[in-house]
Amino acid sequence: MQLKYIFQRIGQFIFLVFLVNLVGYIGSSYMTADTMVWYHQLPASFLTPPDYIFGIVWSFLLFLQAIAAFLVWGRATPRYFVLQLALNMLWSFSFFGLRNPTAALVVVIFFILALIMNIRTFGRELKVAGWLIIPTLLWALFALYLNSVVVFS
């Protein structure tokens, strides 16, 4: 392999890790002390994990997404990957920024659909890339349940 190619791939990976971390940072920026007080007053499922778990899980899931995108870089269209990242941020904005769990419920449904499409798109190019998105889909389904409890309780 040429050294230029290796540095190019390293740069792509760094960019993707930066991108998903930016998404995580923007999403978490809506979780201020004030919004967390509001959040803790909402109805919650007995399955709702402690607050710190969300940051740990999302950090791991976003890193898996960066790896998946890196593996198919230049081979698979990134439109569903970009869409899922945008919807991820929109959910945080809807739920915490707007304090609108109903709008967030609609967003999480579209987020799940974008994840499914991204799994298919990445998986067509490289199966492992599709598989790396599945944990995010499972977490999003759990988020759908948690969000539904808030909306329908």
Sequence ranges of the domains in the chain:
3-152
State the pLDDT at residue 13.
Answer: 96
Nearest 5°: phi and psi at 100?
-125, 85
DSSP of 69-105 = HHHTTTTS--HHHHHHHHHHHHHHIIIIIS--HHHHH
Percent of the chain with pLDDT over 70: 99
- Average pLDDT of every residue of the chain: 96
pLDDT at 7 > cutoff 80: yes
CATH of the domain spanning 3-152, picked from 1.20.1260.100, 3.40.50.620, 3.30.360.30, 3.90.1330.10: 1.20.1260.100
* pLDDT (mean) for 95-107: 98
Query: 3-state class of 38 per DSSP?
Result: helix
Percent of the chain with pLDDT over 90: 96
Instruction: Give the model's confidence band at 73: pLDDT under 50 very low, under 70 low, under 90 confident, else very high.
Output: very high
Cα 15 vs. chain centroid, distance in angstroms?
A: 17
State the pLDDT at residue 1.
Answer: 63
Give me the count of residues in the chain. 153
Q: What digits encode the pLDDT tens for the residues 130-143?
A: 999 999 999 999 99
Residues 125 and 120: their CA atoms lie apart, in Å, by 9
Residues 26 and 10: their CA atoms lie apart, in Å, by 24
Q: What digits encode the pLDDT tens for the residues 43-57?
A: 999 999 999 999 999
